[in-house]
Amino acid sequence: MRLETERLLIRDFVSKDEIMLKKIIWQENMVRFMRDWSENSLDPERLRGYIDWLGTQTQSTDVYENKRYAIVLKETGLLIGMVGMGLENTLNEVEMAYFTDKDYQGKGYATEALMRLFDWCMSISGLPYMILTIDCSNQASCRVAEKAGFELFEKRTPINHKQPNMDSDSYYYYRKYRNPKAE
């Protein structure tokens, strides 16, 4: 897969991304809000295996399958984050996900990547909308969601279950429709 924006390239992960990816996923907020990435990299073979597995998904356009793509600066080729989508099993809806290196946050890169991947997903699927679930403590991520056109639907506090990768007990549930008027 290869998508472009004005400043970014969204592409499949490749083995050379491992070193930079490991640096990013051990940053403080990554460990706090997307802990499965860092936990799964404790064993170098596991992270390498995950990157290799992602490589087996490159020809699929099924948005229900969990896919993760590298966010790369066009100008330098530097890996600065991840954007992806896939079925969120608990909610049974297609959810998007993203993160960026702390040195590249606040510059609009995550918003740009999220918007481009959303548009691509809408162009290849019949989905009416996609979702984001964001820990209530992660205000920076909420700003990204809103800048990318996602609408806050509700604050949810699950009973007898906790959303994966959540720091707090509650999360914000966002939706973005294919057609903003289609609510």
User: Residue 159 has what pLDDT?
Assistant: 86
Cα torsion 55, 57, 60, 64: sign? negative
Q: How distant, in Å, are the alpha carbons of 29, 104, 108 from that of 165?
A: 11, 22, 23
pTM of the model: 0.91
Task: In whole angstroms, give the CA distance from residue 62 to residue 40.
Answer: 24
The residue among 25 and 40 whose pLDDT is bigger is 25
User: Residue 183 has what pLDDT?
Assistant: 45
User: Residue 180 has what pLDDT?
Assistant: 60
Q: How distant, in Å, are the alpha carbons of 3, 78, 88 from that of 104?
A: 19, 11, 27
The residue among 68 and 35 whose pLDDT is bigger is 68
* pLDDT beyond 80 at 70: yes
Arithmetic mean of pLDDT, 139-153: 97
User: Residue 181 has what pLDDT?
Assistant: 56
DSSP, residue by residue, 25-69: HTSHHHHHH-HHHHHTTSSHHHHHHHHHHHHTTTT---TTS-EEE
Arithmetic mean of pLDDT, 49-77: 89
72-128 confidence digits (pLDDT tens):
999 999 999 999 999 998 899 999 999 999 999 999 999 999 999 999 999 999 999
> What are the structural domains of the chain?
2-177 (3.40.630.30)
Lowest model confidence (mean pLDDT) among 36-45, 57-66, 155-164 = 36-45
Task: In whole angstroms, give the CA distance from residue 149 to residue 179.
Answer: 11
Mention every residue, 6+ apart, whose C-beta is less than 8 A from residue 129.
175, 176, 177, 178, 182
Strand partners, 9: 4, 72
CA torsion, points 174, 13, 102, 99, in degrees to nearest 10?
10
User: Residue 33 has what pLDDT?
Assistant: 87
127-137 confidence digits (pLDDT tens):
999 999 999 99
In this prediction, what percent of the chain has a pLDDT beyond 70?
96
In this prediction, what percent of the chain has a pLDDT beyond 90?
66
Q: If DSSP codes are grouped into helix, strand and coil, which group holds residue 168?
A: coil
Task: In whole angstroms, give the CA distance from residue 87 to residue 90.
Answer: 9
Tell how far CA 147 is from the center of its chain.
15
